[in-house]
Amino acid sequence: MIFAALADPTRRAILARLTEGEATVGELAEPFDISLPAVSRHLKVLEAAGLISRTRSAQWRSSRLEAGPLREATAWMEDYRRFWDESFDRLDAHLKRTLARNEENHHD
Amino acid sequence: MIFAALADPTRRAILARLTEGEATVGELAEPFDISLPAVSRHLKVLEAAGLISRTRSAQWRSSRLEAGPLREATAWMEDYRRFWDESFDRLDAHLKRTLARNEENHHD
DNA sequence: AGTACATTTAACTTATTGGTTATTTAACTG
DNA sequence: CAGTTAAATAACCAATAAGTTAAATGTACT
């Protein structure tokens, strides 16, 4: 559920905005060129994923970032860390070989 | 793109399987109750996201885990770490309060 | 050359997603 | 209480995703 919530760029932008503090739906919608209901539904998705919580006060609903699911997501990715180090090593080796070959060829 | 690729549970299971080493499409498909073409397309999505690379040899295509994009994804999430600590603190405080209240009520 | 095998591509179906506008809900305000 | 404001919901539409079966591709085997 969390990855699906993060898959949309508008939702990621909303999360980024919320790092600066709570905001109302209207405020969150402002930078985007989409309708308010569209934003409202993005917020619903984020809330369902546990990435935001909302409080109502008068006619404003304030959204607040809840990063817990991100912690879980990184925990899941941790299992792959050893592989990305390895991938990097392989990439690194590859780049070095390529570079060396270039040096040989047109040794200017 | 990476988050969308990770959003599907079948694809995450495929990645998990690949931590045990390279595998052919048939081998990857085996644990799932879906058709081979379906698996083939999941692999295409993973490849497009840079999460696997593939080598052809005879009639088998072997898939290998490429964890680089996961590194980038965690890097992106790093920006939110301060918030999840904070969320945790808040959750923790909440749990402690709740626990204390329970202790009071039915102090068994 | 002909067949078998592993995989991909094509064509199609169904469900989900992300957007729209119009309507409804809820709370404040004069 | 009527009107305004903020947001959510409803009803709808187009695009995408995930699955299917059937056909095509590419390589190996005899």
Does A108 score more than 50 pLDDT?
no
Contacts 24+ apart (CB under 8 A), B49-57: B49/B1, B49/B2, B49/B4, B49/B5, B49/B6, B50/B2, B51/B2, B51/B5, B51/B15, B52/B15, B52/B18
> Within chain B, how many helices (H) and strands (E) appear?
6, 3
A54 HSE (CA, 13 A, CB side): 18
Select from A83, A89, A39 the least CA-distant residue to A61.
A39
CATH topology (fold) of B2-66:
Arc Repressor Mutant, subunit A (1.10.10)
Q: Would you say B3 and B11 are in contact if contact means Cβ atoms under 8 Å apart?
A: no
Inspect the interface and report whether the beta carbons of A77 and B74 lie closer than 8 Å.
yes
Residue-level pLDDT at A107: 46
Subunit contact A67:B87, Cβ cutoff 8 A: yes
pLDDT at B108: 45
Q: Which nucleotides of D are covered by protein (CB under 7 A)?
A: 5-11, 17-22, 26-28
Q: Sorting pLDDT into bands at 50, 70 and 90, what band is A101?
A: very low
Other CB atoms within a 10 A radius of the CB of residue A14 amount to 24
Strand partners, A61: A56
Structure token digits, residue B74: 């965690």
pLDDT of residue B57: 86
What single DSSP character describes residue B1? -
Give residue for tokens 């934003």: A39
pLDDT, greater one: A101 or A96: A96
The CA dihedral of A33, A38, A43, A45, to the nearest 10 degrees, is -130
The pLDDT value given to residue B104: 46
The span from the CA of A4 to the CA of A2, in Å, is 5
- For A3, the closest of B6, B88, B91 (CB atoms) is B6
Site of tokens 């930078």:
A31
- Kindly give the confidence (pLDDT) of every residue in chain B, 108 residues in length, as a single tens digit, with 9 standing for 90 and above: 899 999 999 999 999 999 999 999 999 999 999 999 999 999 999 999 999 999 998 889 999 999 999 999 999 999 999 988 776 666 565 556 555 545 444 444
Residue A23 phi, psi (nearest 5): -155, 155
Whether the Cβ atoms of residue B70 and residue B51 lie closer than 8 Å to each other: yes
Alpha-carbon gap, residue B99 to B61, rounded angstroms: 55
Nucleotide lying nearest to A60, CA to C1' measure:
D6
Each residue of A35-93: pLDDT tens digit?
999 999 999 999 999 999 999 888 899 999 999 999 999 999 999 999 887 766 665 65
Cα separations in angstroms, B84 against A12, A50, A67, A101 = 16, 12, 4, 46
Looking at residue B26, what is its pLDDT? Answer: 96
Q: What Å value separates CA A100 and C1' C14?
A: 53
Q: Which of B70, B81, B86, B88 is the best substitution to test chain A (most A C-beta atoms within 10 A)?
A: B70
Backbone angles phi, psi at A55, to 5 degrees: -125, 140
